Amino acid sequence: MKQERHDSGTVGPDIWYCIQLPATAYQTALELQRSLVDARVAQKTDVNILLLLEHPRVFTLGRNGGRENLIVSEAFLKKSGLSVVQVERGGDITYHGPGQLVGYPVINLKTAGLDVRTYVTNLEEIMIRTALDCGAEAGRNSKNRGIWVGNNKMGSIGISIRHGITFHGFALNVNLSLEPFSWINPCGMTDIGMTSIEKELGQSVLMEKARQSIRHHMEDVFAIDIMDFKPEAPGLDVVDRILKKFCPAGAIPE
């Protein structure tokens, strides 16, 4: 049951907002997450938010990551138009690109009644159920968090927590090209492969189906209600519109 809004316009911890974005540059999404976290830490907003989107092609390095797991040259990267971004999430190196569904929950773990282990396990469960909705069976693997088909990884998890507020999140390989994963040691591992829902099924998968499935299973697994917020139109000011909606003037510390 959805909670009533307070006069301030905030909602209780059992309601999250889902913001489904078009293809969004990694740095833009990262700055949006950090701004939302800043507002939450400063107690200027208390809204739990799920960002769902795809990224243009990019490699990211987590806290445990090093460029030694990048197995192509800088010249090759430049020619391919790929950059490498160092970020504060857990994990090692990974790849994001079109056809991979990325979810960034920005939530307060304490008010959500979650510890870190349960939170990560829930994210895995949501990806497993979404893959199954699309017709592919995946499970867990003791080698690494995420979801797997045998020795091939289908979905990854890398999170960061600041003052109890989570950001970064999960990446589910729906129908993306897997070739760039061959240019790295994914997650810092040399003995694994990567797969996608499309590869396992041998046929194309609609991204919209995966998006709606993720949203549905988020509600079920986290026992929440989700409300949608759709920015009026895509564009460079999408971050400003989101922050204006969820963070009052002056919410973001200088």
pLDDT at residue 117 in the model: 95
Fold assignment, 15-233: BirA Bifunctional Protein; domain 2 (3.30.930)
For 58-75, how does the pLDDT look when each residue is reduced to its tens digit (9 = 90+)? Answer: 999 888 777 888 888 889
Domain range list for the chain: 15-233
pLDDT band at 242 (very low <50, low <70, confident <90, very high): confident
For 81-133, how does the pLDDT look when each residue is reduced to its tens digit (9 = 90+)? Answer: 898 888 989 888 899 999 999 999 999 999 999 999 999 999 999 999 999 99
- Catalytic residue numbers read 187
pLDDT at 239 over 90: no
For 147-196, how does the pLDDT look when each residue is reduced to its tens digit (9 = 90+)? Answer: 999 999 999 999 999 999 999 999 999 999 999 999 988 777 778 899 99
pLDDT band at 1 (very low <50, low <70, confident <90, very high): very low
pLDDT at residue 8 in the model: 36
For 5-61, how does the pLDDT look when each residue is reduced to its tens digit (9 = 90+)? Answer: 333 345 567 899 999 998 999 999 999 999 999 999 998 889 999 999 999 999 998
Residue range 227-244: average pLDDT? 76
pLDDT at residue 201 in the model: 97
pLDDT at residue 148 in the model: 97
pLDDT at residue 4 in the model: 38
Greater confidence (96 vs 2) lies with: 96
pLDDT at residue 241 in the model: 82
pLDDT at residue 236 in the model: 52
Among 130, 148, 136, 151, which residue's Cα sits nearest to residue 207?
A: 130
pLDDT at residue 238 in the model: 76
Residue range 227-238: average pLDDT? 72
